[in-house]
Amino acid sequence: MPSQKSPFAPIPPGSSEHYSDAAYYTKTYAGRLEDVAYYVDLAVQLGGEVLEYGTGNGRIALPIARHGIPVTGIDASRPMLDDFRERLAKEPAEVQTRITLREGDMRTTKLRKKFPVVLCTFNTILHLYTHEDLAAFFARVQAHLAPGGRFVVDLSTPSLADLAHDPDPTRERKMPRFRHPRLGLVRYGERFAYDFMTQIFRVTMRTTPENGAPEEIVELTQRQFFPQEFRHYLQTAGFEIVHTDGSFTSAPPDDFSEVLIFHAKRKTKQFSDPALRRDETKK
Ligand SMILES: C[S@@+](CC[C@H](N)C(=O)[O-])C[C@H]1O[C@@H](n2cnc3c(N)ncnc32)[C@H](O)[C@@H]1O
């Protein structure tokens, strides 16, 4: 059978390199606990089966499953999913049965199932760079969202100071030495570059092992969305925003919000013409 070609650009290095070393990812984000608590509470409160886009190595999905809720996780990174499976193998049998993993692109993966809760966590949405990427993904969410279901997506807000960083490679931001799970003691530095027209922020991370092994350079690219722009994307993709949090402690959004968490549901048809509205109610 001829292979089906995806109409989308392949997943770029900036969406995959940072996720190629799951042990390093786990160490880097070990202290990030507020979003885990937020999503566990939300899943317990909403109570239905969860579909998580960008499930990674289960940082959020696993704690949700431990609370008795089945989770289907989609991710494009095989190293992250392999690590998730290894972690899952150490869990009690009932937790293992609650997790279903699928390797795939969030823009195209089709599941023959609908979910009352669809999550897109920890900036995964920032790996969708173009209007076409977003439209394709939101169409997938619409297709997988059960009637009356909730779609929740979080994203970091653009930091104007970060976007204004000088991309000059000699201006690397040096970080304290640390012990890397694979490379031992390392020196580490980051460079930042923001492309004005595409609104893509590029972080170039350079890790230099102290033992003389070759340095590693990894890129992370994230689309930047300004709050009103993202609202507009959701609304034009057929979602109604029911609630927005400005932190994982559920504070309302304000000028200092470093994250926005949008809660949306499928928009119900609305007609501005009263005659049309009457026709619709007759059906
Ligand atoms: C910041 S991580 C979040 C992982 C996990 N949810 C967590 O909170 O730790 C973003 C994830 O999105 C995945 N990803 C990036 N682009 C993707 C795409 N087009 N389709 C599916 N997954 C993608 C990456 O592989 C990565 O695991």
Which residue has its alpha carbon closest to ligand 1 atom 10? 124
CA of 196 to the centre of ligand 1 (A): 24
Pocket test for ligand 1, best of 11, 15, 102 (most atoms within 8 A of CB): 15
Report pTM: 0.93
Which residue has its alpha carbon closest to ligand 1 atom 25? 77
CA of 137 to the centre of ligand 1 (A): 13
Residue 63's SS3 state is helix
pLDDT of residue 39: 98
| Residue 97: pLDDT over 60 | yes
Cross-strand partners of 141: none
Average pLDDT over residues 118-132: 97
Q: What is the pLDDT of residues 70-92, one digit of tens each?
A: 999 999 999 999 999 999 999 99
Is the distance from the beta carbon of residue 223 to the nearest atom of ligand 1 less than 6 Å? no
Banded pLDDT at 271 (limits 50, 70, 90):
low
| Residue 1: pLDDT over 90 | no
Is the distance from the beta carbon of residue 146 to the nearest atom of ligand 1 less than 6 Å? no
pLDDT of residue 3: 46
> Between vectors from CA 205 to CA 101 and to CA 129, what angle results, nearest 5°?
55
Is the distance from the beta carbon of residue 14 to the nearest atom of ligand 1 less than 6 Å? no
Instruction: Please enumerate in sequence order all residues whose Cβ is within 8 A of that of 119, keeping only pairs 6 or more positions apart, or say none.
Output: 39, 50, 51, 52, 53, 60, 151, 152, 153
pLDDT of residue 150: 98
| Residue 154: pLDDT over 50 | yes
What token pair was written down for 244?
């927005």
> Which numbered atom of ligand 1 lies nearest the CA of 29?
9
Is the distance from the beta carbon of residue 245 to the nearest atom of ligand 1 less than 6 Å? no
| Residue 137: pLDDT over 70 | yes
| Residue 277: pLDDT over 80 | no
Q: What is the pLDDT of residues 4-45, one digit of tens each?
A: 567 788 999 999 999 999 999 999 999 999 999 999 999 999
| Residue 281: pLDDT over 50 | no
Is the distance from the beta carbon of residue 19 to the nearest atom of ligand 1 less than 6 Å? yes
- Domain 13-158+225-274 in CATH 3.20.20.140? The answer is no
> Which numbered atom of ligand 1 lies nearest the CA of 127?
16
Share of the chain above pLDDT 90, in %: 86
H, E, C per residue of 128-153: CCCHHHHHHHHHHHHHHEEEEEEEEE
Which residue has its alpha carbon closest to ligand 1 atom 8? 122
Q: What is the pLDDT of residues 158-211, one digit of tens each?
A: 999 888 888 887 788 999 999 999 999 999 999 999 999 999 999 999 999 999
Average pLDDT over residues 52-67: 98
| Residue 122: pLDDT over 90 | yes
Is the distance from the beta carbon of residue 105 to the nearest atom of ligand 1 less than 6 Å? yes
Average pLDDT over residues 219-225: 98
Domain ranges of the chain: 13-158+225-274, 160-222
pLDDT of residue 52: 99
Is the distance from the beta carbon of residue 21 to the nearest atom of ligand 1 less than 6 Å? no
CA of 50 to the centre of ligand 1 (A): 16
> Which numbered atom of ligand 1 lies nearest the CA of 133?
19
Q: Which amino acid is at 150?
A: R
For residues 128 and 200, what is the distance between their CA atoms, to the nearest angstrom?
Answer: 10
Is the distance from the beta carbon of residue 156 to the nearest atom of ligand 1 less than 6 Å? no
Is the distance from the beta carbon of residue 60 to the nearest atom of ligand 1 less than 6 Å? yes
